[in-house]
Structures are given as structure tokens and as C-alpha cells.
Amino acid sequence: MLGSRADAEDVTQDTFVRAWRSLDRFRAQSALNTWLYRIVTRRCLDALAARRTTEQLDAASTESAEGEPAGIVEQREQLESVKRAIAGLPADQRAALVLREFEGLSYDELADVLGTSVASIKGRLHRARLSVLRTIG
Amino acid sequence: MTTSSYDERLPCGVRVADLLAEGVDHEPASDPTHQATCPFCQSTLRRLRQDWARVEALTREPVEIPPGLIMRIMARVRTLSAQVADSVVLGGVSGETRISHVAMSRVIQHLAATAPDVVFASVQLLPHKPAHPRRLSVAIQLVVLFGPAVKPIAQGVRDRVRRRAPRLTGAELTWIDIHISDITDPLH
């Protein structure tokens, strides 16, 4: 989501601290994990918005180790190209795609976490998937 | 598949983008009769699934929790828990504000002591259990004037503290106990 391990660690820590502070406001109207996803996604989107465009993200580790089979190297390069394609998405599309494909959230849960309608989520996902496929295809 | 092919319309008239939900989300075909016999749709769906398999491969990659991350998070939460033992901790967008229980007591003591018919007030803060950064309970001892009914004086102090202390400090008061410890006659 953030493309940076250090930023991800900061956001994770901040998310749990915020959750601890706001635990009394958790009304169990949604599942605990949906509530946590909402906090962490909000924090990720804030972090992305605050990030300067010139900021260096983690370098992709596509260098091959000596003696590594060509198939493994190619597979790793393919995974890195997918990561780059996802990192190139607008923040709202990236959040929808990551929560759907990596975290397995349903459309209803996505709409709850991202505070929008299911129709809007479907639109975002369609654009995100199309964009990723165009990049890696 | 070329990078532009996802924008194209197949020779059969179907747009490649329209096959996306079917290829990626396993949704049913919008026109199964057409697809069953259309070589363009079938071949495009195959290629689409093949490309998407690379994304799915990434989603199956194990995510390692960085060493020490859980301990760092728990250490931070423990530090905050310790802080709330003697302070109210208010989180904000650009940092946190801590108000010591001493300062909180002075605010509440002033509010109680300046209420009508109150001669003297002392305050004891009771930390929330379980520990909470913003919540407190408070016990107030009052010396009040002889003459006016005691119960309305106590209720007046309670209302005044409940209304104004959160506005002045940001803390939340869950319980306000009032003990009238003495009554004084100004004429004596």
C-alpha cells in the first residue's frame, strides 16, 4: 500500500496506538477487523497524501543472486513489476485493490472501510485492475 | 497481450475491459451464449486470466512481520498506559497533549469552589479503570453555606463541573461524587 517498509511500520504502530486510544468508541456495529482496517487505511491515505512526490520509495530487489535459477529470477521480476504497477495507482484505487486482492475484503466491507458505496468500490476496482493489467501486460 | 490491448474492442464487438470482472472476479459471463462460441472472447479471457495470475501470485507471497515490531507497539502502548496513571492524554493530528492530574484537579477545584453557596472545595481524581487516556472520575468534598438546601448546591456543582471541565480540559468525566463535609454559617 505504501511501498515503503519504514512507512508501513510507522503506520502500523500508529494504528494500534490510535485503536487503543479509541477503543471506547468502538461500538461493535462493525467487526473489529473492519474497524482496524478503517483506521489503518485512513492513516495510509494520509501518509500517501503527505508524501512528497520526490520521496524515494524502497528499491525493488530484482537483482539476481549468483547461481539463482533463471526461472526464479524471472518470477521475482514479474512480482516486482506487479508491485510497481500497484504503486503507480492513485491512492483511492490502490487502497481498494490492496484491501480486496491482498486482504480479501468483500465489496460491502470495502464500502464500509473506505466510506463509500458498493457501486463506487466496483468502479474503483475496475479502473485499478485495468490499470495494473495495462502496466504489466 | 500488448499494453494497449485492454483498451481495444475485439473483432466480435466485445470490449476487453468488459471481460475484466469475469476474468478477475469470476463473475458470470454477461453473454454466455456468445462466449461459448466466440474464439476472440475465449482467447482474450485466457490471456486476461494469465496476466492476472501474476497479481494473484503476489497476493500469495508471505508477509513477514518485521522483527521487534510487535514489541515496539506494545512498548508504546505500555508507555501511554503509564502516562495516563498521572495525566490526561489527548491525542491530536500533530502531536499529543498531556494534562497532569494536578492541573486537572485545580481546574475542577476552581469550578466547584466558585459555584453558588460553596465556601470551600477539595478534589480527588480517580483514574478510570481500566486505564483510559481521557477519562476520569472525580470525588469533590464541599463546605457549603448554612441556609440554602444542600442537595441543589451539590447538584449545581456537579452540573457545573460536568459541563465546563471537559470544555476547559478535553477530559471526559465519567463519575462525579460529591461529599458535603461541612456547613458553615457566615454569621458565626
Domains of chain A: 5-56+69-136 (1.10.10.10)
Residue that is written with C-alpha cell 520526490 in the block = A54
Under-50 pLDDT residues of chain B: 1-4
Structural domain includes residue B89? yes
Based on the fold, state whether residues B47 and B116 are members of the same structural domain: no
CB B111 within 8 A of CB B89: no
Based on the fold, state whether residues B41 and B94 are members of the same structural domain: no
A134 chain-B contacts, CB cut-off 8 A = 3-4, 6-7
Structural domain includes residue B65? no
CATH of the domain at B141: 3.30.70.1350
Based on the fold, state whether residues B21 and B49 are members of the same structural domain: yes
Based on the fold, state whether residues B159 and B180 are members of the same structural domain: yes
C-alpha cell at B97: 497533549
Q: Where does a domain end: B16, B35, B59?
A: B59
Residues A32-73 have pLDDT tens digits of: 888 899 999 999 999 888 876 545 556 555 455 566 777 788
Based on the fold, state whether residues B86 and B122 are members of the same structural domain: yes
CB B31 within 8 A of CB B10: no
Instruction: Measure A27 CA to nearest chain B CA, in Å.
Output: 16
The domain containing residue B27 runs over which residues? 5-59
Task: Give the torsion through C-alpha atoms of B2, B8, B13, B18, to 10 deg.
Answer: 90
* Residue type (1 letter), B42: Q
Q: How far apart are CA B121 and CA B178, in angstroms?
A: 10
Answer yes or no: do B57 and A18 touch at CB < 8 A: no
Q: How far apart are CA B110 and CA B107, in angstroms?
A: 5
Which pLDDT does position A22 carry in this prediction? 77
CB B95 within 8 A of CB A39: no
Query: How many domains does chain B contain in total?
Result: 2
Residue that is written with C-alpha cell 480527588 in the block = B124
Q: Where does a domain end: B38, B59, B80?
A: B59
Among chain B residues, CA nearest to A15? B73
Q: How far apart are CA A99 and CA B165, in angstroms?
A: 42
Residues B37-70 have pLDDT tens digits of: 999 999 988 988 999 999 999 999 888 888 889 8
Residues A96-118 have pLDDT tens digits of: 999 999 999 999 999 999 999 99
Model confidence at A137, pLDDT cuts 50, 70, 90, reads: confident
